[in-house]
Amino acid sequence: MSASPRASAPDEAALDPDAMRQPLADAWYCVARSEALKPGALRAVELNGEQIVLGRDASGAPFALRDRCPHRGMALSKGRFDGAALTCPFHGWRFGTDGRCRDVPTLSASDAADFSKIAVQRFPIRESAGFAWVNPFLGPASGSDVPALPELGFEAAGRVVIELVVEASYDLTTLSLVDPGHVAFVHDSWWFRPSKELREKVKTFTPTPHGFTMTSHATTTSSPVYRLLGGAPAVEIEFRLPGVRLERIVAGAKRVANYTFATPLTHDRTLLTNALYWNMPALNLLKPVARPLMRQFLTQDQQVLQHAQAGLDRKPTMVLFGQGDLPSQWYFRLKREALAAARAGRPFVNPLVTQELRWRS
């Protein structure tokens, strides 16, 4: 984690390949849509190399356990769940949603073996903005603060969610959330960006608790998506550790939120979740139109990221160059500070300052 970019000089910006591949350990990651956790059902997910089983108990509370029976390693997600306990399909051991072993049915009444010490690893789980979030960190509490969960901030009338797995590292994928330079080249669909001409952009970036935000007042009327809102929307784009991009569009009482979350599955596979929310019921009619467009948009990122990852696999260095790449450098600075704060057991101190950036896109 030592060599992250310090300044904008290209030779200083070459990144340490190890730092490139490690997601932040102590952070909340989006693991599933809330409605995918049905009471009584189990769902297997991957998170940062860990196999996790998710569920929702009879009272509606979600839980996350390591998807591995301590007895012989069986996936508990393949077993049964009655709303209170999971039953391993191999020898029937039962575990509560707190991970504690409740019963070993094959034990004879005369067997003195005590199963009360046996437990499956449990992970903290929360729900926010219509998603379930898990923190996979197993180390001791460091005393440093972890980034807040994204919240929606309004009552959604509708939502479209697209989930796509990218065969690329967590960092490379997360950089695409803060990279203005790729938009004109990767996302050149008629409905998003009708004109191919590069234009000068000037935007002010301000530090937020675990990231930074970019605010603009509706100069980007070129996009039909923005035009749909009518009037002059105010757009705010926030990036927050570990890999959360929150775009909020406000036009009078109308609200649209376009949230993107990066989740590390393994060291070379990353889940991108894109959720579009709105508070105007009339927009629900556009769901069948929005879904394929959002999928196309996310697929454009997926394809280019996978090709770039293949290049980084051959030589794992990047050159972060010019003001358009500063947000990418900030990502690594934020991450480095999060690691340093956790190591020292002190609060996170955002190393960024308010800055105006200029680039063409």
| Phi, psi angles (nearest 5°) of residue 61 | -80, 130
Min separation Cβ 97 and ligand FES, Å: 16
**Binding partner of 280, given Fe ion, ligand FES, none, CB within 5-8 angstroms per partner class:** none
- Of 31 and 298, nearer to Fe ion (C-beta) is 298
Min separation Cβ 53 and ligand FES, Å: 12
Q: Interface with Fe ion includes 301 (CB under 5 A)?
A: yes
Which is it for the CA torsion 308, 312, 315, 321, positive or negative?
positive
Q: Which residues contact 99 (CB under 8 A, 6 or more apart)?
A: 65, 66, 119, 120, 121, 122
**Residues 1-40, mask of contacts with ligand FES (x by CB under 6 A):** ----------------------------------------
The residues facing 255 across adjacent strands are 250
Cα separation, 81 vs 65, in Å, equals 13
**Residues 64-83, mask of contacts with ligand FES (x by CB under 6 A):** -----x-xx-x---------
How many residues lie near ligand FES (CB under 6 A)?
A: 8
Binding segment toward Fe ion, per CB under 5 A, in 13-21, 53-61, 170-178, 267-275: 170-178
- Our measurement of the distance from residue 81's CA atom to the centroid of its chain's CA atoms, rounded to an integer in Å, reads 28
- Of 95 and 170, nearer to ligand FES (C-beta) is 95
**Residues 93-112, mask of contacts with ligand FES (x by CB under 6 A):** x-------------------
**Binding partner of 69, given Fe ion, ligand FES, none, CB within 5-8 angstroms per partner class:** ligand FES
How far, CA to CA in Å, does 325 sit from each of 179, 258, 328? 7, 22, 5
How far, CA to CA in Å, does 118 sit from each of 68, 78, 113? 12, 20, 11
Q: Which is it for strands 211-216 and 200-208: parallel, antiparallel or unpaired?
A: antiparallel
Cα separation, 264 vs 46, in Å, equals 8
**Binding partner of 64, given Fe ion, ligand FES, none, CB within 5-8 angstroms per partner class:** none
How far, CA to CA in Å, does 242 sit from each of 62, 254, 257? 22, 29, 19
Q: Which is it for strands 101-103 and 94-96: parallel, antiparallel or unpaired?
A: antiparallel
Cβ–Cβ under 8 Å, residues 25 and 137: yes
Cα separation, 44 vs 120, in Å, equals 15
Amino acid found at 230: G
Min separation Cβ 147 and ligand FES, Å: 35
**Binding partner of 149, given Fe ion, ligand FES, none, CB within 5-8 angstroms per partner class:** none
Tokens representing residue 171 in the block: 């960092």
**Binding partner of 217, given Fe ion, ligand FES, none, CB within 5-8 angstroms per partner class:** none
Min separation Cβ 89 and ligand FES, Å: 8
- Of 93 and 348, nearer to ligand FES (C-beta) is 93
| Phi, psi angles (nearest 5°) of residue 225 | -65, -40
Min separation Cβ 79 and ligand FES, Å: 8
Q: Interface with ligand FES includes 91 (CB under 6 A)?
A: yes
Min separation Cβ 78 and ligand FES, Å: 10
**Binding partner of 301, given ligand FES, Fe ion, none, CB within 5-8 angstroms per partner class:** Fe ion
Cα separation, 254 vs 95, in Å, equals 46
Q: Interface with ligand FES includes 267 (CB under 6 A)?
A: no
Largest CA distance in the chain: 80
* Binding-site ranges for Fe ion (CB under 5 A): 176, 301
* Binding-site ranges for ligand FES (CB under 6 A): 69, 71-72, 74, 88, 90-91, 93
